[in-house]
Amino acid sequence: MMSAVTFDTFEFNNTLREAGFDEKQAAALTKAQAKVAVQIHAAGEYATKADILEVRRDMHVMEERMTANFYKAILLQTIALAGLVIATIKFLG
């Protein structure tokens, strides 16, 4: 189910004016922003709840993999360091 999103150009223009944009700048930016909103809506390029949930799941899986790889790297570094310490002790001993 899609919900409608409106873009209030009058309010957007007023916000720009209050922020210090002159009338010409505010009008140009408002026009450009409205055009983008229409293009996005026409193209259907918006995320649904399902899209967001899928991205969150993917991020969770990636986080688990990165954590596992991090722990493997720490373990390998610990083993390498232990080997270096043992070799140093044997060499000096």
* Same domain? 5 vs 38: yes
Which residue segment(s) compose the domain that 41 sits in? 1-46
Q: How confident is the model over 17-34, as pLDDT tens digits?
A: 999 999 999 999 999 999
Task: Quote the pLDDT of residue 51.
Answer: 87
* Same domain? 8 vs 33: yes
Count of the separate structural domains present in the chain: 2
CA of residue 82 relative to chain centroid, distance: 39
* Same domain? 42 vs 71: no
Q: Give yes or no for a contact between 40 and 46, defined as CB atoms under 8 angstroms apart.
A: yes
- At residue 93 the predicted structure's pLDDT band, cuts being 50, 70 and 90, is confident
Q: How far is it, in rounded angstroms, from Cα 5 to Cα 43?
A: 14
* Same domain? 92 vs 54: yes
* Same domain? 24 vs 41: yes
* Same domain? 59 vs 20: no
Task: Quote the pLDDT of residue 22.
Answer: 93
CB atoms within 10 A of CB 84: 10
* Same domain? 40 vs 81: no
* Same domain? 60 vs 82: yes
The more confident residue out of 84 and 37 is 84
User: Structure pTM?
Assistant: 0.45
